[in-house]
């Protein structure tokens, strides 16, 4: 007597699974361009906006070039429909994590994008390699951040913890080089030229 309700429940459950799985496949199959779906990672997509996660090292010249050329063009192309987030992922040997902590703290104070620009410029255009408190004071003035509040934030250790979490995330999804770009948390992009990224981002937005 209990067999029929059980079979019915299994049938409904299977149908629901197929429906959800099929819908996900249809959604991704509609995305154009070159990309790879990262299995097991949840989507961070927000309706009407794509999140570009860039696993990067401030000391990496390729990251600097990608940020200056490709990311800048993408931001102009999509405006508020594209949110870019840098995830600190140190790969260059012999470098202190200070710049990553500075960036993470600036993010909490609403100045992450400007801090990112200034740090890349300082390292690659001005050849500044050390960021002690004196140098930080000059950079904070340029970014327009309150030095006392900024240093207090660094002292909590939270920016360093954020760096650690980002590294763990990158290792989990097997980031092997910088820059590595992941859209919406689970769409890895190997071909980082502007045209391919534009196609993928636009096709994601077209699904909304």
Q: What confidence tens digit (pLDDT) does each residue in 54-83 have?
A: 999 999 999 999 999 999 999 999 999 999
Structure-block tokens of residue 117: 């620009």
| Confidence grade of residue 30 (pLDDT, cut at 50, 70, 90) | confident
Structure-block tokens of residue 90: 């140190």
Q: Return d(Cα 189, Cα 193) in angstroms, integer.
A: 10
Q: Return d(Cα 21, Cα 16) in angstroms, integer.
A: 8
Q: What is the pLDDT of residue 113?
A: 94
Would the pLDDT of 115 be above 50?
A: yes
- Look at strands 36-37 and 50-56 and give their pairing: unpaired
Q: What is the pLDDT of residue 192?
A: 97
Is residue 151 packed enough to be buried (19+ CB in 10 Å), middle (13-18) or exposed (0-12)?
Answer: middle
| Confidence grade of residue 28 (pLDDT, cut at 50, 70, 90) | low
Residues 6+ apart with CB under 8 A from 165: none
Q: Return d(Cα 113, Cα 179) in angstroms, integer.
A: 17
Q: Is the separation of the CB atoms in 54 and 66 below 8 Å?
A: yes
Domain 36-206 has CATH 3.40.640.10: no
Q: Return d(Cα 201, Cα 74) in angstroms, integer.
A: 9
pTM of the predicted protein model: 0.83
Q: What is the pLDDT of residue 29?
A: 61
C-alpha 29 chain-centroid distance: 23
- Going by C-alpha positions, the residue among 116, 92, 81, 82 that lies closest to residue 102 is 116
Q: Return d(Cα 42, Cα 35) in angstroms, integer.
A: 16
Give mean pLDDT, residues 125-143: 95
Would the pLDDT of 26 be above 60?
A: no
Q: What is the pLDDT of residue 208?
A: 85
């Amino acid at each position: 007597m209990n067999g029929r309700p059980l079979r019915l429940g299994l049938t409904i459950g299977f149908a629901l699974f197929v429906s959800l799985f099929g819908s996900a496949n249809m959604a991704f199959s509609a995305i154009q361009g070159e990309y790879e779906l990262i299995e097991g990672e949840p989507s961070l997509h927000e309706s009407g906006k794509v999140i570009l996660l860039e696993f990067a090292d401030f000391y990496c010249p390729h990251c600097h070039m990608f940020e200056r050329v490709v990311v800048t063009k993408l931001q102009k192309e999509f405006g508020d429909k594209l949110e870019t987030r840098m995830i600190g992922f140190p790969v260059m040997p012999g470098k202190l994590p200070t710049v990553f902590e500075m960036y993470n703290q600036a993010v909490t104070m609403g100045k992450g994008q400007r801090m990112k620009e200034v740090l890349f410029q300082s390292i690659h255009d001005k050849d500044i390699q050390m960021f002690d408190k004196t140098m930080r004071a000059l950079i904070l003035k340029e970014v327009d951040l309150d030095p006392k509040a900024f240093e207090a934030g660094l002292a909590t250790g939270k920016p360093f913890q954020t760096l650690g979490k980002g590294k763990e995330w990158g290792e989990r999804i097997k980031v092997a080089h910088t820059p590595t770009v992941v859209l919406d948390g689970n769409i890895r992009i190997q071909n980082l030229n502007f045209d391919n990224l534009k196609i993928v981002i636009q096709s994601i937005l077209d699904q909304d």
